[in-house]
């Protein structure tokens, strides 16, 4: 039995799949998301990514649709949501830890995401994003774009 790859998916991948259908990366993004949906790839993202995704899409959604997007995300995208602390449902972070990432030239949001990826590095094979340059050599797992994951 072949081992399925376990990846952490960044917000931009979901946004391109959902909103930017004319984007040149849309086709590859959809192919990648379909592999996740079909259980060919095991997917994770963070509560921070999920909230960012909902925030980006909220400008074109009703309040009710935004809540439904949040509640239905894990099932729709066949993705496990990771929180800062295991078995926690609070969105908290250690400011010193996040500042350590920021000192490495990261935005606050990227630092939050990276902290969760690094905490879960033992279960992850790769970090998937179209913003590879934001994370390359800054996160403790391989950083690939969706097209590279499909190759």
Quick check: 51 and 82 in contact, CB under 8 A?
no
Q: Which residues pair with 126 in a beta bridge?
A: 7, 142
C-alpha 66/C-alpha 88 separation (Å) is 23
Distance CA 127, CA 9 (A): 6
Tally of structural domains, the chain: 1
What single-letter DSSP state applies at residue 85?
Answer: S
**What is d(CA 56, CA 73) in angstroms, rounded to the nearest whole number?**
14
pLDDT at 121: 96
Residue 7: what are its φ and ψ, rounded to 5°?
-130, 150
The range of the structural domain enclosing residue 36 comes to 5-150
Which tens digits make up the pLDDT trace of 34-73? 999 999 999 999 999 999 999 999 999 999 999 999 999 9
pLDDT per residue as tens digits for the range 96-126: 888 999 999 999 999 999 999 999 999 999 9
| pLDDT, average across residues 127-132 | 97
pLDDT in tens, 86-102: 666 667 888 888 899 99
pLDDT reported for residue 3: 81
What pLDDT sits at residue 53?
96
Name the one residue in this structure whose structure tokens are 């949501």.
81
> Could you give the residue ranges of the DSSP H alpha helices within the chain?
11-18, 26-37, 47-58, 63-76, 95-103, 108-119, 132-135, 146-150
- Which CATH number characterizes residue 38's domain? 3.40.50.1010
Q: Which pLDDT belongs to residue 1?
A: 52
Q: In this structure, are residues 113 and 82 in contact, taking their beta carbons and an 8 Å threshold?
A: no
């Amino acid at each position: 039995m072949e081992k399925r790859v376990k990846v952490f998916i960044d917000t931009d991948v979901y946004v391109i799949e959902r909103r930017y259908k004319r984007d040149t990366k849309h086709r590859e993004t959809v192919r990648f998301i379909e592999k996740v949906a079909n259980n060919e790839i095991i997917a994770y993202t963070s509560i921070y990514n999920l909230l960012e995704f909902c925030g980006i899409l909220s400008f074109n959604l009703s309040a009710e649709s935004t809540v439904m997007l949040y509640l239905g995300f894990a099932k729709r995208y066949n993705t496990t949501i990771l929180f800062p602390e295991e078995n926690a449902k609070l969105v908290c972070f250690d400011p010193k830890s996040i500042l350590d990432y920021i000192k490495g030239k990261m935005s606050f949001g990227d630092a939050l995401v990276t902290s969760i990826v690094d905490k879960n590095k033992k279960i992850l094979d790769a970090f998937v994003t179209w913003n590879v340059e934001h994370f390359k050599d800054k996160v403790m797992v391989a950083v690939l774009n969706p097209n590279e994951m499909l190759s």
